[in-house]
Amino acid sequence: MSREGTSAQQGTVPTLKILAVASAGCRTLVLSGELDLSSTDEFEVMVRQVFDPDTELLKIDLRRLTFMDCAGLHVLVGASELCARNGCEFEVTAGPAAERVLEVSGLGGAPWLQGSAEAVG
């Protein structure tokens, strides 16, 4: 299963693109573009849409982001809590744009966080 979504304020060019991929208990969201206050609603909706009772692992790939602010952190923490409540593993692969915000926020050492150099594939 693969699904794409885009987010934009009315009348502007989309700033975030989300590719959703599902396979055998794993749900992956690959984000590209900008994850900020104007696009977090779409990201949060996609997290809830791909998550189901059979989800064993939720992966969020942020390596293709060009910008991320603290609003994106809020959705990541919410996704982490959703997984914890449902016994699902959670993994985030960060790229340069996300790593800086995660470090400044104190989430740079979160157990679910992988740096882009640690990611496979």
| pLDDT given for residue 35 in this prediction | 95
| pLDDT given for residue 80 in this prediction | 95
Looking up tokens 């690959």 gives 30
| pLDDT given for residue 47 in this prediction | 95
Angle at 92 between CA 62 and CA 112, to 5 degrees: 155
Read off the pTM: 0.83
Inter-residue contact 27 to 55 (CB < 8 Å): yes
CA 39 to CA 93: how far, in whole Å?
Answer: 19
Q: Which CATH class is domain 2-114?
A: alpha beta
Which positions ≥6 away from 47 have C-beta within 8 Å? 29, 58, 75, 78, 79, 82
| pLDDT given for residue 5 in this prediction | 53
| pLDDT given for residue 94 in this prediction | 95
Q: Which residues of the chain have pLDDT under 70?
A: 1-14, 116-121
| pLDDT given for residue 1 in this prediction | 46
Tokens of 34: 């900008």
Residue type at position 106: G
CA 47 to CA 88: how far, in whole Å?
Answer: 13
Q: How far is C-alpha 115 from the chain's CA centre?
A: 14
